[in-house]
Amino acid sequence: MNKLYRFLSSFHLHSIPHYILLLLLLLLLLLLLLLLLLLFFFFFFFFFFFFFFFILKYQQYKFVCLFILPLKTVCLRSLRLVMSASACQRKTLIISEQLELIDDVKVKKLKLAAAAKKYGIGYSTAAKILMKEDDLRSCMQMNGNTNRKRKRQSVHKDVNEALTQWFTQACAHGATVTDHVIRQRASQLAVNLDFEPSNGWLMRWKQANNVSFKKFHGESTSADHGSANEWVTNVLPQLFRGYDPKDVWNCDETGIFYKAMPSGSLRFAGDKQPNGTKVPKDRLTMFQFTNMDGSEKQAVVVGNRLKLQLRPTEIEQHRLLFLENILLPLSFSRKSNNTTCSSMKIFYSLCLSFGNRTTPLALP
C-alpha cells in the first residue's frame, strides 16, 4: 500500500481539479464497458457459428439441435422474405411491352411516371426503354421475336446476319428451306471460322428471328397466274356479251362429311386423353349456284337417293333441311352419277333447269 501511495503521489494528483479526475474515471469505465461488449459479441458469434456449421451439420447433440433449429428456421424465413421482396421489385418487360410503353408515352401522351407505374417498373427503367426506341423499332421491322426480354448479341454476329439475309431472299423466291438446309448454309458462310451449327445454335437463331415451321397450303404456286389474269381480262368479257347479269351464273362444289364427329371433346383436367375412332368417310357433294347480280341462289346436292336412304316423300317433306349444319334450301339432281361427284354434264343441265330455261347460259 505504501508503494502504491508513493506511486500515485508521484503524479501530483492533488494538484488536478476534482472534476477532471471524475471525467477521466468515467472515460475509463466506458472503455472497460466497450471492451466487455466486444468480448461478449465475439464469444456469441463464435458460439453461434460453431454450433450452426459443425454440430447441426453432423447432428451430434440432439439437445443443441432442439435449441438451434428454431433459430435456424427463423433466420432462413427472414432471408427468404427479404429476397422475395427484392425480387418482386425487379421486373423486365418483353420487347412488345416495351414498345407499348413507348407508344403510351409518345402517342397517348401518358406521363413517364404513370407509364412506369402501369407496367410495374421503376422510373429509371422506363427512361432507359425510351432511349432504346430505335433499337426496338429495328427489331420489330426485321421480324424479330418480340417476346424476348433482351436482344443479346451472338458470338458469330456476321454469320447470323448473313444467314438471315439469305433466308429472307429464299422465302421471297418461294424456296423450300429446312433445318438441314439452314445448317449447311451456315457452315458455308462460316467456312473460315471455328463455328459449329449445333442444335442449340439453330434453336436460338430461329427464336431470335421468329422463324417457325409451316406446312404448305394449297397448290397456288403451281398455277399459271399470268394466263389466268389474261383470261379474266380479255376472254371472260367476250363471253358475257349479249347476256344480262341475272343470266350469268357461277358455281362451286364442296364436300359435306355428314357423319364426321369433332376431333376432340371436353374433359376434366385430371382425366386421361380420350381415345379416338375411325373417321367416317360418308360424304355428299353439294353445288352452290348464284347469278352475277345475286338475285338467285341455289344449293343442289349431287347424289343417289337410294344410297342416301331417303324416300322421295321424305325429300319432298324435308326440302329445307335434312342435315343440321346446312341452312340453305336443298334440291337433288335427278341426273346424279353413281360416284356422287360433280361433272360438267350435271352442271350444264342444272343451269338449264333454273327457271325452265331453254337457251344455254354463259358458263365462265
At residue 306, φ and ψ (nearest 5 deg) are -70, -40
At residue 59, φ and ψ (nearest 5 deg) are 55, 55
Given this model, what pLDDT does residue 358 score? 43
Q: Kindly state whether residues 330 and 248 are assigned to the same domain.
A: yes
Q: Is residue 223 part of a domain?
A: no
**Cα(164)–Cα(172) distance, rounded to whole angstroms?**
12
Q: Kindly state whether residues 248 and 335 are assigned to the same domain.
A: yes
Q: Kindly state whether residues 122 and 161 are assigned to the same domain.
A: no
Range of the domain at 176: 152-212
**Cα(91)–Cα(118) distance, rounded to whole angstroms?**
12
User: Phi/psi zone of residue 351: left (φ > 0), alpha (ψ -120 to 50 degrees), beta?
Assistant: alpha
Alpha helices in 265-363 (DSSP H): 312-317, 344-353
**Cα(266)–Cα(275) distance, rounded to whole angstroms?**
13
Q: Is residue 126 part of a domain?
A: yes
Question: Which grid cell sits at 209?
Answer: 428471328
Q: Which residues of 180-214 are buried (b: 16+ CB within 10 A; e: fewer)?
A: eebbebbeebbeeeeeebeeebeeebeebbebeee
Given this model, what pLDDT does residue 317 score? 47
CATH of the domain at 175: 1.10.10
Report the chain's terminal Cα–Cα distance, integer Å.
136
Q: Kindly state whether residues 130 and 144 are assigned to the same domain.
A: yes
Residues of the chain with pLDDT under 50: 4, 58, 60-65, 82, 84-88, 305-307, 315-341, 358-364
Among 102, 134, 151, give the residue marking a domain's end: 151
Q: Kindly state whether residues 82 and 105 are assigned to the same domain.
A: no
**Cα(364)–Cα(357) distance, rounded to whole angstroms?**
18
Q: Is residue 349 part of a domain?
A: yes
- Alpha carbon of 32 to those of 24, 25, 36, 37, 128: distances in Å? 13, 11, 6, 9, 54
Q: Kindly state whether residues 128 and 173 are assigned to the same domain.
A: no
Q: Is residue 24 part of a domain?
A: no
Q: Is residue 37 part of a domain?
A: no
Q: Kindly state whether residues 101 and 181 are assigned to the same domain.
A: no
Question: Per-residue pLDDT tens for 214-259?
Answer: 777 666 666 677 788 888 888 888 888 888 888 888 888 888 787 7
Among 72, 89, 106, give the residue marking a domain's end: 89
Question: Per-residue pLDDT tens for 128-175?
Answer: 888 888 877 776 666 555 566 556 556 677 888 888 888 888 888 878
**Cα(221)–Cα(219) distance, rounded to whole angstroms?**
5
Given this model, what pLDDT does residue 127 score? 86
Q: Is residue 44 part of a domain?
A: no
Enumerate residues 6+ apart whose C-beta is below 8 A from 221: 174
- Structural domain count, the chain: 4
E-only strand ranges, 47-146: none
Q: Kindly state whether residues 205 and 314 are assigned to the same domain.
A: no
Answer yes or no: are the C-beta atoms of 277 and 261 closer than 8 Å.
yes
Given this model, what pLDDT does residue 361 score? 40
Q: Kindly state whether residues 67 and 79 are assigned to the same domain.
A: yes
The helix, strand and coil proportions of the chain, stated in percent and rounded to the nearest 5, come to: 55, 5, 40
Q: Kindly state whether residues 85 and 98 are assigned to the same domain.
A: no
Among 49, 67, 89, give the residue marking a domain's end: 89
Q: Is residue 222 part of a domain?
A: no
Q: Kindly state whether residues 101 and 199 are assigned to the same domain.
A: no
**Cα(353)–Cα(336) distance, rounded to whole angstroms?**
14
Q: Across the chain, how many H-helices and E-strands are there?
A: 15, 4
Q: Kindly state whether residues 249 and 284 are assigned to the same domain.
A: yes
